Amino acid sequence: MGKKILVTGGTGLVGRGIEFAALSDKREDEEWIFLSSKDCNLTSMDETRKLFEMHKPTHVIHLAAMVGGLFSNLRQNAEFFRVNMLINDSVLNCCREFKVEKLVSCLSTCIFPDKTTYPIDETMVHNGPPHSSNFGYAYAKRMLDVQNHAYRQQYGCQFTSVIPTNIFGPHDNFNLEDSHVIPALIHKCYNAKRDGTAVTVFGSGTPLRQFIYSHDLGRLMVWTLREYTETEPIILSVGEEDEVSIKQVAEVVAKEMGVENLQFDTTKADGQFKKTANNAKLRQYLPDFQFTPFEQAMKESCAWFVENYEKARK
C-alpha cells in the first residue's frame, strides 16, 4: 500500500523546502499533502481529529509551530510555550489514535542547554536549562522528545524527531518584528537600497551560528521520513567548520543585495553566543550528502525575496 504523507506547517519555510525536495525525487507510492493553519488550527484537538479523519494519513511530518527569531521569543515566552505544547499534544495524540505508521517532528538546536560543552550532540537535549531568551519555545520542543519516547514505550508508536540548526531560504518569514536574522537582513537591505539608507544589524555581530538551506533540509527530512528508524533525534546540520558569525552573514547578505553601509546596534540583544552542533550521526548515515554552498543558497534566497516581494510574508 502507498504512503499518504501529511505535512503540518507545510506552507512555511521548511514545508516549502520539503515540497521542493519531494517533487525533485518523486515516488509513485507517495502522496504528499501540505497543510497551512487555514486547513486546521492544530491547537484544537477536535479540529485536529477532524483533519486526521478526513485525510487518514499513514505518515506525518510535523512542522507546524509558533516560530520566531530571538526578539519575538524574548517578548512572548509564555505564548511560545502554550501554543507549541497545544499543537504538539493534538498532533501526537491524533497520530496515535489514527495509527499513523511513522511521525517525524521538528526540534531545533536552540533547545540545547546554554551552559554546555561543545560540540553539542543528540544525547544532550535534556542536560540543563536552555538559553533564557527562548525557554518557552525550548521546553515545549524538548517535550516532543519526551512524548516520542512515551508514545513508543506505551503504544509502540514509531515517532521520532530531527534537530535542524538555523534555517533560511525561499518562503521564509521576512516580517521585521518576528523574523530570524537572515530574512530580517534581506528585508532590511532591500529597504536600505530602495531608500538610500544604512542597514542596522542588531547586536554585536559576534554570535556564531550554523545555517542550513531550506532545500537541503527538505532533502534530509524526506530521507528521514523514508529511511530513519530510531526514536532518538538526529541533528540535521552543516559541519562545525561551516559556523559563521552574524557579522559575516550580514556582509554576505549586503554583498548579494548590493548594499554597502552596515551599522551595528549594540544596545540590542545578542541572544545565545553559540550552539555549535555536531553532525557526525548524520554523516554516519549519509557520508556523501552535499550541502549547497552558503553563498549560493544566499543568492537564491535573496533573488526569491526580490522576485516575490509582493507576496512574501513581511
- Which sequence positions are flagged as catalytic? 137
Q: Which of 11, 90, 134, 279 binds ligand GFB (CB under 6 A)?
A: 134
Considering the complex, state which of residue 67 and residue 222 has its C-beta at the smaller distance from ligand NAP: 67
Binding span for ligand GFB by CB under 6 A among 7-15, 42-50, 254-262, 267-275: 267-275
184 binds, among ligand NAP, ligand GFB, none (CB under 5 to 8 A by kind): ligand GFB
Listed residue (135, 136, 140, 126) closest to 232, CA to CA? 126
**Binding residue for ligand NAP (CB under 6 A) from 28, 29, 38, 229?**
38
Please give the residue whose beta carbon sits closest to ligand NAP in the complex: 12
Binding mask 218-257 for ligand GFB (x = CB under 6 A): ----------------------------x-----------
Kindly give, in sequence order, each residue whose CB lies less than 8 Å from that of residue 243, ignoring residues fewer than 6 positions away: 208, 209, 210, 274, 276
* 183 interacts with ligand NAP by CB under 6 A: no
Measured from the CB atom, the residue of 34 and 151 that comes closer to ligand NAP is 34
What, of ligand NAP, ligand GFB, none, does residue 13 touch, CB below 5 to 8 Å by kind? ligand NAP
> Which of these, 146, 60, 67, lies nearest to 110 by C-alpha position?
67
Q: Nearest distance from residue 295's CB to ligand NAP, in Å?
A: 19
- The sign of the dihedral angle between the CA atoms of 213, 216, 218, 223 is negative
Nearer to ligand GFB (CB atom), residue 237 or residue 272:
272
| Residue pair 212/251 in contact by the 8 Å Cβ criterion | no
Query: For residues 22 and 181, which CB has a smaller minimum distance to ligand GFB in the complex?
Result: 181
269 binds ligand GFB (CB under 6 A): yes
Cis peptide before 57, with omega less than 30 degrees from 0? no
Contact set for ligand NAP, span 87-116 (CB under 6 A):
87, 106, 108
**Cα angle 294, 240, 22; round to 5:** 50
Binding site for ligand GFB (CB under 6 A): 69-71, 73, 108, 110, 133-134, 137, 166, 179-181, 184, 201-203, 207, 209, 246, 268-272
